[in-house]
Amino acid sequence: MHIRDNVFIVSGGASGLGAAAVRMLVEEGGRVIVADLQQEAAQALIEDCGPAARYVPCDVTSELDAHAVAQAAQEDGPLRGLVNCAGVLAAERIVGRDHPHLLETFERVIRVNLIGTFNMTRVCAQAMAHGAPADDGERGVIVNTASIAAFEGQIGQAAYAASKGGVVAMTLPIARDLARHAIRCVTIAPGSFETPMLSNLKSESQQALAMQVPFPARLGRPSEFAQMVRSIVQNVMLNGTTIRLDGALRLQPK
Ligand SMILES: NC(=O)c1ccc[n+]([C@@H]2O[C@H](COP(=O)([O-])OP(=O)(O)OC[C@H]3O[C@@H](n4cnc5c(N)ncnc54)[C@H](O)[C@@H]3O)[C@@H](O)[C@H]2O)c1
């Protein structure tokens, strides 16, 4: 799929990996809807990006918001891509000091990371399916963001790993389902990346994570995530799979 003159939605686009994807898509000549809860961060980003990017407030768990974002995108031209980056992290042990793992935490993480990804996917795929195909016959591409925690969840990550495992598991059925509409679906499973999500961890934990990466022995850069998004969008043979982007990191139990 060409990026130039096509319209893309980036959920969670106000920060971190999503913001890097927004910048890349704008640099490549695309038009981008930043769909996020964080208005201030999104406004700052779109001011930086210029008129090719605009902000539409969105909670990815809301059906109404998903429809509003898809509609806004279609006003700008044919919707050709969705990059699902919205996500939340949670760390909680199953057996706590005073109480078991809160069900509420588990439900919140599944709701945003898994159900939110599916909600945006279903609504945007419907919009893409109704568009005319591009020159190469392709109608659209969906890029999801899982995590290597889908494969090696750490202690305290039962909810997060389950949510990302769900994203990995639904990638192939979504790709198979949408193949008849010429829409692809590919998931990226990042290792540890330098974003506001990780900066909430203690600096020792961040350093420990960076040291565990075999090569390069550092945290990933959001621009490297965006580079992978660009490859997926542009390479029509990438479909129905999950790509690890982790410098060979295999997460340890803690
Ligand atoms: N940073 C990492 O090391 C890392 C590793 C693996 C996977 N990931 C995944 O990458 C994605 C992006 O993470 P990040 O590191 O850029 O984090 P981030 O916190 O910088 O960005 C996440 C964005 O998602 C938005 N968001 C959260 N809940 C939302 C909702 N309900 N509706 C709309 N927007 C919502 C936030 O406002 C924020 O702008 C997440 O799905 C995360 O799980 C990150």
Q: How confident is the model at residue 207 (pLDDT cuts 50, 70, 90)?
A: confident
CB 25 within 8 A of CB 32: yes
* Any atom of ligand 1 within 6 Å of the Cβ of 131: no
Distance CA 120, CA 124 (A): 6
pLDDT at position 178: 98
Please tell me the predicted confidence (pLDDT) of residue 135: 83
CB atoms within 10 A of CB 115: 15
Indicate the pLDDT class of residue 128, thresholds 50, 70 and 90. very high
Q: Where does the pLDDT of residue 94 fall: very low under 50, low under 70, confident under 90, or very high at 90 and above? A: very high
What percentage of the chain carries pLDDT values higher than 70?
100
Higher pLDDT, 131 or 159: 159
pLDDT computed for residue 209 by the predictor: 84
The answer to whether residues 169 and 242 touch, using CB atoms and an 8 Å cutoff, is no
In the numeric block, the tokens 């598991």 are attached to 169
Find tokens 């790993």 and name the residue. 161
Indicate if ligand 1 lies below 6 Å from the C-beta of 190.
yes
Instruction: State the average pLDDT over residues 118-135.
Output: 96
pLDDT given at position 221: 97
Catalytic residues: 160
Token pair, residue 58, equals: 């969105």
Query: Which pLDDT does position 206 carry in this prediction?
Result: 85
> What fold characterizes domain 7-195+223-244?
Rossmann fold (3.40.50)
User: Candidates 59, 85, 113, 164: which one to mutate for ligand 1, based on the most atoms within 8 Å of Cβ?
Assistant: 85
- Check pLDDT > 90 for residue 199: no
- Tens-place pLDDT, residues 23-70: 999 999 999 999 999 999 999 999 999 999 999 999 999 999 999 999
Question: Which of the residue ranges 74-78, 201-205, 220-224, 235-239 would you say has the lowest mean pLDDT?
Answer: 201-205
Q: Is 17 in the pocket of ligand 1 (CB under 6 A)?
A: yes
Instruction: Give bridge partners of residue 95 from the DSSP assignment.
Output: 100
Q: What is the pLDDT of residues 236-247, one digit of tens each?
A: 999 999 999 999
Q: Whose CA is nearest to atom 29 of ligand 1?
A: 86
Residue 60 dihedral angles phi and psi, to the nearest 5°:
-65, -15
Q: Is the CB of 59 under 6 A from ligand 1?
A: yes
- Is pLDDT at 200 greater than 80 in this prediction? no
> pTM for the whole thing?
0.97
In angstroms, the CA 18 to CA 143 distance is: 11
Domain ranges of the chain: 7-195+223-244
Report the pLDDT averaged over residues 163-173. 99
Q: How many other CB atoms are found less than 10 A from the CB of residue 25?
A: 29
**CA-based nearest residue to 190, from 243, 139, 137:** 243
- Indicate whether 193 pLDDT > 80: yes
Q: What is the rounded average pLDDT for all residues in the chain? A: 96
Return the closest-CA partner of residue 34 out of 89, 108, 85: 85
Which residues face 11 on adjacent strands? 35, 84
**Gap between the Cα atoms of 192 and 117, Å rounded:** 20
pLDDT tier at 208 (50, 70, 90 boundaries)? confident
